[in-house]
Amino acid sequence: MNLISLLIGLVALLWALVAFIPFLGWMYWFILPIAFVGLGIGALSSHRGGRNLNIVVLVVGAIRLLIGHGIF
C-alpha cells in the first residue's frame, strides 16, 4: 500500500511542479483529488512515506490555490 501511495504522490508532485508555472495554477483543482486518494491509500499502510508525500503535495497545492485565488 505504501508503494502505491508513493507512486500516486510522485505523479501528483510531478504535475504540481508543472502547475507551479504562472497561469497554470488551475491544474491544482485536478491534482488535489489525486493527492487525497494517495493520502487515503497511504493511511492504510503501516509505513508513513507515501502518506507524508501526499500531505506535502496537498499543503503546497492548497497554499498555491489560496495565493492565486483558485485560478492562477
Residue the block writes with cell 508503494: 3
Span 12-64, pLDDT tens digits: 999 999 988 888 888 999 999 999 999 999 999 889 899 999 999 999 999 99
pLDDT of residue 68: 83
> Measuring CA to CA, which residue among 31, 33, 36 is closest to residue 64?
31
pLDDT at 33: 95
pLDDT band at 72 (very low <50, low <70, confident <90, very high): low
Q: pTM score, two decimals?
A: 0.87
| pLDDT tens string 27-41 | 999 999 999 999 999
Q: Which three cell numbers, joined as nine digits, stand for 2?
A: 505504501
